[in-house]
Amino acid sequence: MTSRIAIDGKRLLQRLDDFARIGATPAGGVNRQALSPEDRASRRLLADLALQRGFRVFQDSMANLFIRREGRLPARAPLVIGSHLDSQPTGGRFDGALGTLAAFEVMESIADAGIETDLSLEVVAWTNEEGSRFAPGAMGSMAFAAGAIPDAWSDLRGRDGSLFVDELSATLQALPEAEMRPLGFPICGYLELHIEQGPSLERENIPIGIVHGIQGTRWLEVTIKGQAAHAGTTALEFRRDPMAAAVAALEPLYKSAMPSDQYARFTVGRIAVEPGAVNAIPGSVTFSIDLRHPETAVIDALEDRVRLSCDSAAAAAGCESELRQIFDMPPAAFSEDLLACLDRAAASLGLKAKHMLSGAFHDALFVNRVAPAAMIFVPCRDGLSHNEAEYVEPEHSIAGARMLLAATMEAIAVRA
List interacting residues with ligand GLV (CB under 6 A). 130, 137, 360-361
* Closest CB 37 distance from ligand GLV, rounded Å: 22
363 lies in the site for Mn ion, by CB under 5 A: no
82 lies in the site for Mn ion, by CB under 5 A: no
Size of the site for Mn ion (CB under 5 A): 2
Residues 40 and 348: their CA atoms lie apart, in Å, by 38
CA angle, 135 then 136 then 139, to 5°: 110
Contact by Cβ (8 Å): 315, 240: no
> For ligand GLV, which is the closer residue by CB, 30 or 248?
30
* CA neighbor of 375 nearest in space, from 390, 353, 392: 353
In the list Mn ion, ligand GLV, none, the entry touching 361 (Cβ below 5 to 8 angstroms by class) is: ligand GLV
* Closest CB 131 distance from ligand GLV, rounded Å: 7
95 lies in the site for Mn ion, by CB under 5 A: yes
* Closest CB 138 distance from ligand GLV, rounded Å: 8
* Closest CB 360 distance from ligand GLV, rounded Å: 3
198 lies in the site for Mn ion, by CB under 5 A: no
Residues 103 and 284: their CA atoms lie apart, in Å, by 46
H-helix or E-strand spanning residue 216: strand 216-225
Contact by Cβ (8 Å): 123, 66: yes
Maximum pairwise Cα distance, the chain? 79
In the list Mn ion, ligand GLV, none, the entry touching 96 (Cβ below 5 to 8 angstroms by class) is: Mn ion
> For ligand GLV, which is the closer residue by CB, 188 or 367?
367
96 lies in the site for Mn ion, by CB under 5 A: yes
78 lies in the site for Mn ion, by CB under 5 A: no
* Closest CB 126 distance from Mn ion, rounded Å: 9
In the list Mn ion, ligand GLV, none, the entry touching 66 (Cβ below 5 to 8 angstroms by class) is: none
Residues 144 and 129: their CA atoms lie apart, in Å, by 12
> For ligand GLV, which is the closer residue by CB, 169 or 288?
288
Residues 401 and 395: their CA atoms lie apart, in Å, by 10
> For ligand GLV, which is the closer residue by CB, 188 or 329?
329
* CA neighbor of 204 nearest in space, from 343, 334, 361, 378: 378
89 lies in the site for Mn ion, by CB under 5 A: no
Contact by Cβ (8 Å): 217, 291: yes
39 lies in the site for Mn ion, by CB under 5 A: no
DSSP-derived letter for residue 209 is E
In the list Mn ion, ligand GLV, none, the entry touching 29 (Cβ below 5 to 8 angstroms by class) is: none
Residue 355: half-sphere exposure toward Cβ, Cα within 13 Å: 14
137 lies in the site for Mn ion, by CB under 5 A: no
> For ligand GLV, which is the closer residue by CB, 137 or 207?
137
**In Å, what is the CA distance from 337 to each residue of 120, 237, 352?**
19, 64, 20
Cβ neighbors of 200 (< 8 A, separation 6 or more) are 209, 356, 383
* Closest CB 359 distance from ligand GLV, rounded Å: 7
Residues at the contact surface with Mn ion, assessed by CB under 5 A? 95-96
